[in-house]
Amino acid sequence: MYSQVDSNKRRTTVLIILFIAFVLALGWLIGYVYNDGPAGLVLAVGVSLVMTLTSYYHGDKMALWTAQAKPVVKNDNPYLYRIVENLCITAGLQMPKVYLIPDHSINAFATGRDPGHASIAVTAGAIAKLANEELEGVIAHELSHIKNYDIRLMTVVIVLVGAISLLADWFLRGRFLRSSNNDRGGNGVLMIIGLVLIILSPLIARLIQFAVSRRREFLADASGALLTRYPEGLARALEKIAAEARPMQGANHATAHLFFSNPFGTQKLATLFSTHPPVAERVAALRQMA
């Protein structure tokens, strides 16, 4: 389990470095074409930062509202509250706010910018359909997202995706609106390569985002198994989700990456561009830890 955690951390670091390098290379390319230097990159990152900081400080409330999650205190649902409380004590985490999602599918998510401002939401279906050790595995996975600061990491990734999308959009608009006298036309091959790269850059950015998100899901699985010391519980919970293949009623693409499993279900079409790795791969990785 420790080796799995270390491996996922290293791979995530490599992906983030590649992501940042891609942003810088794209900014340099646009500066080369327009002979404007890094101005476009600075402006794009600045706008993305403003948008993302708003999500960073208020995104948890929006995610909980979108999922129709209701706050839970100890007397409302002692079973759920005590599982979260016991796992937090084991992990050395501050107790997050607990929410219940009135949905019959099996799912959960954690949100908040750090362990001191965290919330965890669990569906009614997860409580009703999962055995005790299976529900513990799911909640341990979500608490691992909090402990590993995954929400902060994904905020950085969103900034980078936003910067790339803005750069590509401004470049393509500028190609038709600006005078060609301002363009650097000395290298036609580089111009063609650059244009193709910029057109494809939003797709490349999304693919890197999916890769980072999937590595964090594997990491949270490993960390959650390490917390409960019972990988089989989490593996069985995933198998029940795969067998049910039931999408959430309020599934939303903006918050899909937060959930324990793909809220749109586990059909092939739903998972093709999912931020979650295939359930079979997650189960196999967990059973290798046993």
Q: Which residues are catalytic?
A: 142
Residue among 261, 287, 155 at smallest CA distance from 212 = 155
What are the strands of the beta sheet with 70-72, ordered from one edge?
Answer: 70-72, 97-101, 119-123, 108-111
Tell how far CA 254 is from the center of its chain: 10
Sort 54 into a burial class: Cβ within 10 Å, 0-12 / 13-18 / 19+. Answer: exposed
The dihedral built from the CA positions of residue 16, 21, 23 and 24, taken in this order, carries a sign that is positive
Q: Write phi, then psi, for 259 (nearest 5 degrees).
A: -75, 160
Residue 163 CA, chain-centre distance (Å), reads 17
37 sits in the region (left: phi over 0; alpha: psi -120 to 50; else beta) called: left
Q: What is the largest CA-CA distance in the chain?
A: 72
Structure tokens, 197: 């790269």
Q: How many residues would you count in the chain?
A: 290
